[in-house]
Structure 1
Amino acid sequence: TEKREATMSSRNPERKQRLVGQDSHLSRIFLLLLFVVSAQGVTPNPEACLVSSSVNGSSISCQPPAQIPHSLPADTIFLAVEFFNLTQLPADFLQGVPNLQELHLSSNRLEDLSPKFLLPVPQLKVLDLTRNSLTRLPPGLFRISAALCTLVLKGNQLKFLEASWLHGLKALRHLDLSENNLHSLPPGLLENFPDLLTLDLSNNYLQTLPPDLLRGPLNLERLHLEGNRLRVLGEGLLAPQPKLRYLFLNDNRLASVAAGAFRGLQKLDMLDLSNNLLTTVPTGLWTSLGKAARNLKDGFDISSNPWICDQNLADLYRWLVANKDKMFFRNHTRCSGPEALKGQRLLAVAESH
């Protein structure tokens, strides 16, 4: 049980599974292995970047105290320039590397990017801008980035977004906007991203979401909304995504969930509603969950909510008993009232009801 609970928990980032940027991290691990096992193309000089060559092209990784090269091999396909505290990059920084596929600029202090920054790299597939100081993106930045499939903007200082900033992205599959200062989202943000699989909006300051947020993607699989300030989960928000598999709503301020909020989610493998303000839920909320053979196969978490264990939870009681083998953190899922049941495990109350 503890092993499965560790898989379920999304409050600890190190224990939560994420797909955003996963391909890029695997690529970087692979490259580091290449550096270790192959002496060819590796420069031991600490002031030089690590360089690896293959039949596909050159891969370059630069971290301090290495010096950032003034020019790059024309066949460069992977470039990482990280931990340099750079506030600016020249507009022509990527000039001469038309085949670049992955660009990692994490852990700098970039404040803005030139609208022309990506023009020299039309084949770019992964752009990682994690932990910079970006407050906005220049319109037109992605106008020839039709191949880009992973965009990571985690840990920047974005307070708002404009849908126009993302125009030009046609193959986007993973979008990470977590750990910014977002208080709201514009309508139509995802309408041009039919291939989007993962959306991460966790750890922002969102109190509400536009009703059309999920209209556009056709096969969304993972939705991270944890760590915001959401108070209500409405009827139609999730309706456009019947193939959704992982839904993280934990660590919000949810006090109300509409009866039809999960209707149509026939493939949901994991649901996290923990650490909210739920005292009760409407009859019928769970109707579509836990029935199919694979439904909620990775479990659900409704712990750390102030549940009022009265007759209004009768529908939840029945559902819990039928799906108790998929329930995580049972000892942390307890009644806050009425007084006679305060502190008792919710599942025990359900089984005795």
Structure 2
Amino acid sequence: MASPRHRGSPQDLNTCLPRILLLLALLVTSAHGIVSSLEECLVLRSAEGSTVSCYSVPRFPSPLPDDTVHLSVEFSNLTELPPRALQTCKRLRELHLSSNRLRELPQQLLAPVRGLQVLDLTHNELRGLPPELFHYSAALRTLVLRDNQLQDARVTWLWGLRSLEHLDLAKNRLRALPRGFLISLTYLSTLDLGHNLLETLPHGLLLGPSRLQRLHLEGNRLRRLGLGTFGPQPFLRVLFLNDNQLTEVVDSTFWNLRELDMLDLSNNSLSSIPPRLFASLGRPARDMQDGFDLSHNPWVCNEDLRDLYRWLQDNKHKMFSKNDTRCAGPEALKGRRLLDVVDLESL
């Protein structure tokens, strides 16, 4: 099976498709004279409200139509926003501010838009968030902060996000997460913390979210997964832990993840794992529908891997990168495919 990292994500397509369709609609309606201008922006009016799209503009658009429901101000060089930028947009549902140079956000920016459901701040220069930014954002479902410069996470960042389902904090500079960071995010289903600088995870990190289905932790500096790292997550289906520095995983790490369908532990520093680490995963308990990857680890193929070898034999039909899952030792077995070391069966 091909590695999961090389497969296209349907979620990425679903995120981009509405934006592409919107741009096409704007072009078509502009040709028919339906679109009016708001300085350098395009305004598409409909019975549901106005959609305002601004690209490569020198300043935040103003005044905005009172019935604005979708606002995009992207691919510009905005470094700041007026504190009352959204004062007239009380019906706003989506706000896209990606690919600017925003360094900070006004604390009361979102206060007027209490029905906001989507906020995209991808690819800016944010280093922190005001403590009460989301105080009035109980309706927000999607928050994208990917590719910023966020460093010192605070518990107060996420206060007020009672309906949040999708949180993307990937590609920042987060080194640690405080205890209780996610405690109020009961409805969270997707969490992306990939490609940060995390070296450890706080005990009980996932206390709070009870409906998590997808968790990204790849591309960090994690060295150990300890007791209570994930806690009971009965709906978690996808877990990315690849491209870290893991050398140790305690035996109970995955025991409460009984619905896990995809696990990526590739490109770490694992030489062995505890017996029965995967007892609740895959066969004979259940089939992992989307597969697993243990490749590019320095496995030492001795009696400590006997349990893993037997589990791999039962689940090899769901195994990615079989040819890259090899022994790093002992010397006599160095370079051999782990699946081919039949001597492990009799140890």
TM-score, with structure 1 as normaliser:
0.91
TM-superposed CA distance for 1:242, in Å, is: 2.1
Provide the C-alpha distance between the structure 2 equivalents of 1:18 and 1:179, rounded to a whole number of angstroms.
Answer: 20
Instruction: Report what 1:112 is aligned to.
Output: 104
Alignment of 1:198-347 (within 5 A): 198-291=190-283, 295-347=287-339
Partner amino acid, structure 2, of 1:240: P
Alignment of 1:11-160 (within 5 A): 15=7, 17=9, 19=11, 24-38=15-29, 39-40=31-32, 43=35, 48-64=40-56, 68-160=60-152
Name the Cα RMSD after superposition: 2.3
Partner amino acid, structure 2, of 1:340: A
Provide the C-alpha distance between the structure 2 equivalents of 1:96 and 1:41, rounded to a whole number of angstroms.
Answer: 26
Q: Which runs of 5+ in 1 are unaligned?
A: none
Instruction: Report what 1:180 is aligned to.
Output: 172
TM-superposed CA distance for 1:161, in Å, is: 1.0
The size of the alignment, in residue pairs, is 344
Contact 1:276 1:305 in 2 (8 A): yes
Contact 1:220 1:244 in 2 (8 A): yes
TM-score, with structure 2 as normaliser:
0.93
Contact 1:321 1:350 in 2 (8 A): no
Provide the C-alpha distance between the structure 2 equivalents of 1:55 and 1:349, rounded to a whole number of angstroms.
Answer: 67
Contact 2:39 2:61 in 1 (8 A): no
TM-superposed CA distance for 1:258, in Å, is: 0.8
Contact 1:272 1:300 in 2 (8 A): yes
Contact 1:317 1:351 in 2 (8 A): no
TM-superposed CA distance for 1:55, in Å, is: 2.2
TM-superposed CA distance for 1:233, in Å, is: 0.9
* Cα 1:294/1:93, change in 2 over 3 Å: farther
Provide the C-alpha distance between the structure 1 equivalents of 2:307 and 2:339, rounded to a whole number of angstroms.
Answer: 13
3-state secondary structure, aligned to 2:341: helix
Provide the C-alpha distance between the structure 2 equivalents of 1:144 and 1:40, rounded to a whole number of angstroms.
Answer: 39
* Cα 1:161/1:321, change in 2 over 3 Å: same
TM-superposed CA distance for 1:30, in Å, is: 2.8
* Cα 1:117/1:139, change in 2 over 3 Å: same
Partner amino acid, structure 2, of 1:273: L
TM-superposed CA distance for 1:34, in Å, is: 1.9
Partner amino acid, structure 2, of 1:245: R
3-state secondary structure, aligned to 1:323: helix
Q: Which runs of 5+ in 2 are unaligned?
A: none
* Cα 1:212/1:150, change in 2 over 3 Å: same
Provide the C-alpha distance between the structure 2 equivalents of 1:94 and 1:44, rounded to a whole number of angstroms.
Answer: 20
Provide the C-alpha distance between the structure 1 equivalents of 2:89 and 2:153, rounded to a whole number of angstroms.
Answer: 30
3-state secondary structure, aligned to 1:50: strand
Provide the C-alpha distance between the structure 2 equivalents of 1:18 and 1:256, rounded to a whole number of angstroms.
Answer: 32
Contact 2:126 2:149 in 1 (8 A): yes
Out of 154, 159, 173, the position equivalent to 1:167 is: 159
Contact 1:198 1:222 in 2 (8 A): yes
* Cα 1:300/1:90, change in 2 over 3 Å: same
Q: What do residues 309-336 of structure 1 show as CA deviations (whole Å, max 9, x unaligned)?
A: 1111110110001000000011111111
Partner amino acid, structure 2, of 1:230: L
Contact 1:332 1:345 in 2 (8 A): yes
Contact 1:41 1:51 in 2 (8 A): no
TM-superposed CA distance for 1:69, in Å, is: 2.9
Provide the C-alpha distance between the structure 1 equivalents of 2:250 and 2:205, rounded to a whole number of angstroms.
Answer: 17
Partner amino acid, structure 2, of 1:119: A
Q: What do residues 154-200 of structure 1 show as CA deviations (whole Å, max 9, x unaligned)?
A: 11111111111221111011111111111110110111111000111
* Cα 1:45/1:126, change in 2 over 3 Å: closer
Provide the C-alpha distance between the structure 1 equivalents of 2:197 and 2:269, rounded to a whole number of angstroms.
Answer: 17
3-state secondary structure, aligned to 2:295: coil
Are 1:191 and 2:177 counterparts? no
State the identity as a percent.
Answer: 53
